[in-house]
Structure 1
Amino acid sequence: MKRRIGEPKVPTGLQYEFFQLMQRHVLNQGDRSLAALSKGSGWSRQTWHKALRGPELPNRDLVKALVEHLFPEQDGVEIRHRMVEEALAAWTAAVDERTFGSRTDRSESVPETSATKPLVTAEAPERRGQPVDRSLDSRDFEENLFRWNPAKERANLPEEIRFFRLLYEYYLSAGQPTVRWVAARMPEESPVTRSTLSDWLNGRSLPSSYERLQKVLEVMRQKQPVSDSELEADVSEQQKIQTALNDAWHARPR
């Protein structure tokens, strides 16, 4: 009889949900034993056990590799991509909880982005007695936006600020489509909620992968397409955003 992996060794919450998801993937993909998983993948039984039960969270690259092993390409490229995206999104939420605490006492209300209302995320500085000028122009943008993230209860890192700034500037150049407009046009294989889009644009959270963000950029650009002569510059801007996202993830505290 196969020995069960056991309950995740973390409190109930986003970390627990991540480990449950990983165990569910194993169950749905043949419910192989740790020994069988180790033999077929090359990773040790201990590596698999920790990644499925905790208490320490595995790193992002390992999560991606383990899920890709559980869902080989021959089972369907789209399914594999969706499962990896789901696991990385759960991992990102778990890391956020591990680093900054539970979200139960955080505000759940997320204002929807509109094409006429600029995005400002400075509620926390106001509570700290630092009034914020709501009429920011482009010259003040870099100095005033994304400096404080109330969800994470810390100032954004310089690498995060650069990513959020580049993403916001791209959003402006694309005609400031509303998050409702973008979410409604996302492909079925890469859905993104309005609250997620708002968090990205407001500097509250980083995308878990560039692939989904790239789809968002492509949809944004449908609002205000570039000409053939501008296409090369547009591709270059997207590449800058990709590099900035990688730098932001590497800079985050582990």
Structure 2
Amino acid sequence: MKRRIGEPQVPKGPQYAFFELMQRHVLNRGDRSLAALSKESGWSRQTWHKALRGPDLPNRDLVKALVEHLFPEQDGAEIRRRMVEETLAAWTAAVAERTFGSRADQSQTPSDTNVAKLFGAERTKPLDRANAPERQDRPTGAAVDSREAAESLFRWNHRKQRYNLPEEVRFYELLHSYYASAGRPPVRWITERMPKESPVTRSTLSEWLNGSGLPSYSERLRKALEVMRQYRPVTVDALEADAAEQDRIGEALTDAWGARPR
């Protein structure tokens, strides 16, 4: 008998409605178990469980990817588009509640100063990654200053419970951008194709992609990038630019390790 996911671990409101919607999507798409969802998608059971029940909100990219997995394009592109839009709208409302509180708790619209404290350097505790503002694209290889790092989706390291250093943020941003350009291949798809001399587990690769762990050496990272690119190959004309981007990511990894306290 399939084990139930359970009621969302948040109070009734927009956040509860978001997790309830995610669970309804799973129910409407065959009510598959977490084990089955993990096996077919490459995301861990824990990732699915947290995205379906909370209490922490997943980031926007993960929400979109999970819904797209539940509603594959071959089953109807229009249905998939509507489900993604509906879910992201619910996620946005949930993030707003998490960030600013429920409407009942707001006696007035937050002032510019209060918003600055929420998203700027003055805040006293970190926001969840899901609550971080959308990052702005910058020229590839550009340095990350302290303000830009503070606004990054990869600013807060959940596993280590500390802020990532600016050099770490830059590495995670470059890696995430490359992963997106490669078509966001499932983690399982990547790990199954890694060469035997450079293996990587799904949990380790997930840490690289969610900004909570650095690769221990650049050669294994390089192999992972090469496997990612197999998912969406570049044209012959773009091979040189792709190799240069991999070099930038490798240099960013070196800088990130060098910036850590001895």
- What TM-score results when the alignment is normalised by the length of structure 2? 0.48
- What TM-score results when the alignment is normalised by the length of structure 1? 0.49
User: Whose RCO is larger (CA < 8 A, sep 6+)?
Assistant: 1
